[in-house]
Each structure stands twice: as C-alpha cells, then as structure tokens.
Amino acid sequence: MKIYNTLSHQKEEFTPIEPGKVLMYACGITASGDAHVGHAYQSVVFDMISKYLKFRGYDVKYVRNYTDVDDKIIAKAAQLNKDPMEYAEYIMEKTDKELAELGSAKPTVQSRATESIPDMLQFIQTLIDKGFAYATPEGNVYFKVSKFPGYGKLSRINWSENRDGVRKEVEPGKLDDKDFALWKAAKPGEISWDTPWGKGRPGWHIECSTMAMKFLGKTIDIHGGGRDLVFPHHENEIAQSEALTGQDFSHYWMHNGLLKVNGQKMSKSLNNSIYLADLLKEYKSDVIRFALLRTLYRSDINITDELFPESEKHMYRFYQIFKKIQEKPVSGQEDVTDKYVTQIEQDFIQAMDDDFNTSELFAKLFGWMDFLAQELANKNSPYILSKIVAKLKELFAILGLLQREPEEFLSFVRHKYLAKTGLSEEEILKKIQERAEYKKNKQFDLADGIRNQLAEQHIALQDTPAGTVWDIEL
C-alpha cells in the first residue's frame, strides 16, 4: 500500500510503527458555526481511509478533535448573545448528527480541546523549561521558532515570499514575528483558565499536538487534515511536538484538497458556503459522498451547479440496476466460478492501495455497472448477477456507497423530481390508463402521443407482462 506523504512530496510504501496497528489523527472542526461541505469532505476522506485500513486488516485507532474554545467561537457567541461553551456544545451536537447522516462513523476517540487543558499546560511548561517557549508580561506564551531548526520542513515555506492568509499574531512581547502563540491571555469577560502565566486559554496549534500525544503517543503513523492546514497549523504542530519529545511527530502527513464553488474559493466573505444540513435535505448521503470521492482525495474539487445532480443521476442508475437484479427470480445456485467477484475485489484493492485512488476505482465501478446492465439485457443468470451485487455492496460500504434498499433511493429521487416539475404520480398513472384505453381501441397514434408527451417531461414508460410501469430519466 502506498500513501502520498506531504512531508516528502511523494508516494511512500506504508509501514506502520507497530505491525498490524495504525495510529491516526485528523484535525476536526472548530465549533464556530454550522458544518459546511468542506467539513463534510474532510470527514468523508478520513472516514474512508480509516475503514479501508481496517478492511486491510489493521487495528486502527483514529482520533479526531473538536476545537470548542477559539476566537471565532467567542465572537459568534457574543453576536448571538449566548454563552460560548453552550454555543459550542450546540454546534458539536448538531454537527455530530449531520456527519452521522452523511455516513461517517465516529472515530475511536472524539476529543474536545477543553477536556485536555491540564495536558496542554504541562506541554507548554515543558517547552518553557526546555527553552523552546517564553511567557510575556501580558500573560501570553509563544513558541520560539528560531530554536527549532527544522521549522518549515512540511510546508517548505519561503519566508521571503508574501504569506497572505497566514494567521499572523502581532502582540506585545513577541520576540519574532514568526513565533506563534501556545497560550493566549484572556480578555475581560472571556472564558479562561488559571495558569502560572495568568488567566488565559489555549492557542490554536497546541490543542491538536496535545490530544494526538495524549491518545496516541509521542509518534503516530498518520496525521491528516485539509491542505489549508499545512501552514501554519501542521507546521507549528511539528515544531512544538518534536521540540517537546525529540522524536518524529508523525511518519505520514495526509492532506485532502480544497473546495471551490463555481471556480471561487468557498468563504463566508463571498457568501458561497454550502452547508451540510442543506445538502442532506436535498440529497441522500450516497450522492454527496459519490460526488466528493470521484476526485482523488488530495486534488481540489470545483463544486459546480451540476456536481451533485450529476452524481445523483449516476447513483440512480446504479440502484435501478440493483433493483432489476433484485426482482429477478433466482432458481437454484448454479455452479459458477468466482472469477467475477475475485476480479472486482482485485480491482478495488489495486485502486485503494494506490494512495486511495477513488478516481480510478469509480472508473472500474462504471465498468462493472455496464457489465451488469448488459448481462441483464442478455437475460443471463440472476445468481451470477446477485453475487456480483453482493460483492460490490460489501466493498463499497467502505466508501459509504450502495448500501440502501434500491426502491427507497429510487422513490426518494422520483418524488423529488416530480415535486420540482409540478407533476404528480396520480397524473402519470392517469395518462398510463388513457394510453391503455387508446391501445385497446387500436388508436396507436394517440397512445404514442401520450408516451411522447411524458417523455418530454423525462418520464419513461415500459410495457411489461404485468402492465405498464413508469420511471424518470435524469
């Protein structure tokens, strides 16, 4: 199995610290507002990675955090006239429900920053004692970047270049602009904890290093997050963690790509954020996950107006095929080889072992769906087809796909389409009855007219021995 390591900028053979076990940490969500599609993407990617590693036989301990104390949380709570901790609690509970509906399993450990304050204080004090950090008279504590020679090895940042968008902290008492906050002095009325340096709260970066070490140890196998976290967040995590322990913090650094909306960076300032709750009202989780995973996880995704509708169209076809196979009577169990299911598993493992290449995997999936459709048309054995469907469902459960009852998914999409077009199922059935009468009276032109009229509204009719049935054509 090969994984692209941001640290080395190349694919590397995956070799865990302890054979058969994987220690993985992924940076989670700051509870300052509703979860958006970017949060969904990160969750889906590392959920998939965790599940695939388990499929490959590893005992995975996966830790993800919530940042529940932060400048943004305090500002948003003040704006809403709410207590910051109560507001963060509300956001975390809401996000948990949405991620569960999205199909992302809870990690082995889901930790909140405020649950590890004593550990952070000990971490910071040790850095001070070692000369890697210093406290200011104002009550802030900063990491001394000049004391850590390896600073910049993850991001390969060029300090002479303009660093737009970097969280710069220009505070009294800082010795160097590159130094970053480990602990922040509290402003009047803010949530705070007592420390040797005065009342304050943790800086952004110290949280993840502390929680990763607390639950996983000094050195972990995989540390992940969005590519926007490479600098400064993950760079600072490396500096403070390795300064503390003198050991590598993580052997593999994995970063999912960034999201754009119709070519623009998704941001609140552009008012183009896509919230997860809204997506889940419009689409089943299969559709959202399929759309997000069609692109290799470390590539950027451009969310166009057609991305999710196009994904829904493909998923609709897949479930149509499954339903037709499900409805075919299976007579006995024919003596067939397992060459099809064996090939599917080989294709799956080959793609996923190559840095979780879902782009290649989905190309294979389309091929297998075409094969099923062709075999259905050729009236080949439903036993063979059922075995293929079972294997696809087993494997793609790792990606959170193809797990629904076909009719449930198809019915949801049909009714959504009818609601948007103003059609009703009763109207369609009435048209089908009228067409049947025309055919009975040999008025075939009028019968064809009804078929054509419905076809213009993307309603397809199919005459079967049991009668005429209808479906939508997306």
Domain ranges for the chain, please list them. 2-265, 306-403, 422-472
Span 319-328, mean pLDDT? 93
- Split at pLDDT 50, 70, 90, the class of 162 is very low
pLDDT band at 329 (very low <50, low <70, confident <90, very high): confident
Tell me what pLDDT residue 330 has: 65
Identify whether 107 is preceded by a cis peptide bond (ω within 30 of 0). no
Mean pLDDT of 238-265: 96
| Residue 384 pLDDT > 90 | no
Q: Report the alpha-carbon distance of residue 362 to residue 290 in Å, rounded.
A: 9
What was the pLDDT predicted at 338? 80
Does residue 342 register a pLDDT over 70?
A: yes
Using an 8 Å Cβ cutoff, are 234 and 265 in contact?
no
Q: What is the pLDDT of residues 124-159, one digit of tens each?
A: 999 999 999 999 999 999 999 999 999 999 999 876
110 pairs with which residues across the strands? 64
- pLDDT-above-90 percentage for the chain: 85
- 306-403: which CATH topology? Four Helix Bundle (Hemerythrin (Met), subunit A) (1.20.120)
Residue 172, pLDDT score: 84
Mean local confidence (pLDDT), 13-30: 97
Distance between CA 77 and CA 32 in Å, rounded? 8
Q: Which CATH class is domain 2-265?
A: alpha beta
Cα dihedral across residues 224, 229, 235, 240: positive or negative: negative
Over range 166-180, report the average pLDDT: 77
Mean pLDDT rounded to a whole number for the chain: 93
Decide if pLDDT at 51 tops 80. yes
Residue 398's identity, in one-letter code, is I
Backbone angles phi, psi at 301, to 5 degrees: -120, 130
- What is the pTM for the complete model shown? 0.93
Quick check: 126 and 120 in contact, CB under 8 A? no
List the one residue out of 360, 410, 419, 365 whose CA is nearest residue 388: 365
The answer to whether 133 touches 144, Cβ cutoff 8 Å, is yes
What pLDDT shows up at residue 464?
86
* H/E run at residue 141: strand 141-143
Q: Quick one: average pLDDT of 427-455? A: 94
Query: Which distant-in-sequence residues (6+ apart) come within 8 Å of 424 by Cβ?
Result: 418
| pLDDT of residue 164 exceeding 50 | no
